[in-house]
A = this chain, B = another copy of it.
Amino acid sequence: MTTDIDAVRAYLTGLQARIVSALAALDGKAFGEDAWSRDETGALRGRGAGAILEEGNIFERGGVNLSDVQGDRLPPTASAARPELAGRGFEAMGVSLVMHPRNPYCPTVHMNVRCFATTPDANGARHWWFGGGMDLTPYYGFEDDARHFHATCKNALDTIDVTLYPTFKAWCDRYFFLKHRNEPRGIGGVFFDDLADGGFDRCFAITRAVGDAFLAAYTPIIARRHALAYAARERDFQLYRRGRYVEFNLVFDRGTLFGLQSGGRTESILMSMPPLVRWRYNWQPEPGTPEAALYTDFLRPRDWV
């Protein structure tokens, strides 16, 4: 077993390229590229490559970010689970994506795979862990879509260990939950963090299984929903529900808070924000409507496979 951080870096670089290429082909509009690097003392150093799509044919806004950063001190969000490492130097790399389609029948998706490693100590030893997952946030639910998304995640993880999907699925349901709304963010998917059990090679393989499954999990859903006709009512509900996405990411999301706390690049972190969002006071859907069905049938933990 090795701790081959360079192999992780190479995998993530390739993963971003594959995903951007496939989503651009699906949309018909190329992503804009925005590479950045910085080397400031006292802050996060490193580089990133953002691929951003705005006002596409299918995607109203989205991005697939690759980041590869180093810091002198692990921030509190990263060392919370392992206080003995507080203040250690680290590197962190990951691919993170959020895609917000324009059509309200198309779900928003989030996927992230990442690796943390502390800088080697005097003996050359380093701590490392992986994290990642993907989750789906529909505005109008389709059971077929939810089953397909979850089944793709399950099949990918089952090739390594059949206990992974149930564990990561439940973890996702717990993580993507808006406490102040008593409401899940969407229909979930898989989520894992602080993964180090079983050695580097196994954890890296699990992370790859999730990253590699993303396109198969999401793009068929977009292909079959993006041309569905919709009207102002559906658009309005989508904008309203996007407010929940904002609330989750800014109030609860560990990655967002890590980025903002550690002096990360704000525009890259907030790439996850939806393009257009509405808030309305104390709004509730009428019982029996498709909007009410989202709450009753989809925004609750369910066994989808």
Q: Please tell me if the beta carbons of B260 and A54 are within 8 angstroms of each other in the complex.
A: no
Instruction: State the CA gap A281–B271 with chains docked (Å).
Output: 7
- A299 interface residue per 8 A CB criterion: no
Q: Kindly identify which residue among B63, B271, B273, B276 contacts A239, using a CB–CB cutoff of 8 Å.
A: B276
Q: Kindly identify which residue among B247, B273, B279, B282 contacts A279, using a CB–CB cutoff of 8 Å.
A: B273
Q: Please tell me if the beta carbons of B250 and A282 are within 8 angstroms of each other in the complex.
A: no
Contacts of A267 in B (CB 8 A): 281-282
- A73 interface residue per 8 A CB criterion: no
Q: Which residue of B lies closest to A34 (CB)?
A: B282
Q: Which residue of B lies closest to A249 (CB)?
A: B250
Q: Please tell me if the beta carbons of B280 and A277 are within 8 angstroms of each other in the complex.
A: no
- Complex interface residues of chain A between 157 and 210 (CB less than 8 A to chain B): 179-181
Report whether over half of chain A's contact residues are helix, strand or loop; otherwise say mixed: mixed
Q: Please tell me if the beta carbons of A260 and B251 are within 8 angstroms of each other in the complex.
A: yes
Q: Please tell me if the beta carbons of A266 and B180 are within 8 angstroms of each other in the complex.
A: yes
Q: Which residue of B lies closest to A178 (CB)?
A: B266
What band does the interface of chain A fall in when counting residues whose beta carbon is under 8 Å from B?
Answer: 20 to 34
Decide: A276 near B275, CB < 8 A? Known: A34-B282, A247-B270, A251-B250: no
How far apart are A260's CB and chain B's nearest CB, in angstroms? 5
- Complex interface residues of chain A between 245 and 297 (CB less than 8 A to chain B): 246-247, 250-251, 260, 266-267, 269-271, 273-282
Q: Which residue of B lies closest to A239 (CB)?
A: B276
Contacts of A271 in B (CB 8 A): 281
Instruction: State the CA gap A274–B267 with chains docked (Å).
Output: 20
Contacts of A246 in B (CB 8 A): 246, 250, 277
Instruction: State the CA gap A181–B260 with chains docked (Å).
Output: 10
How far apart are A270's CB and chain B's nearest CB, in angstroms? 7
How far apart are A292's CB and chain B's nearest CB, in angstroms? 18
- A44 interface residue per 8 A CB criterion: no
Contacts of A92 in B (CB 8 A): none
Q: Please tell me if the beta carbons of A276 and B273 are within 8 angstroms of each other in the complex.
A: no
Given A32-B281, A270-B279, 13 other A-B contacts at CB below 8 A? A54-B280, A61-B279, A61-B280, A61-B281, A63-B281, A180-B260, A180-B266, A239-B276, A247-B270, A250-B250, A251-B251, A275-B279, A277-B277
Can you list 30 A-B pairs with a CB-CB distance of less than 8 A?
A34-B281, A50-B281, A52-B281, A52-B282, A54-B280, A54-B281, A61-B279, A61-B281, A63-B281, A179-B260, A180-B260, A180-B266, A181-B266, A239-B276, A246-B246, A246-B250, A246-B277, A247-B250, A247-B270, A250-B251, A251-B251, A251-B260, A267-B281, A270-B279, A273-B279, A274-B279, A275-B279, A275-B280, A276-B278, A277-B279
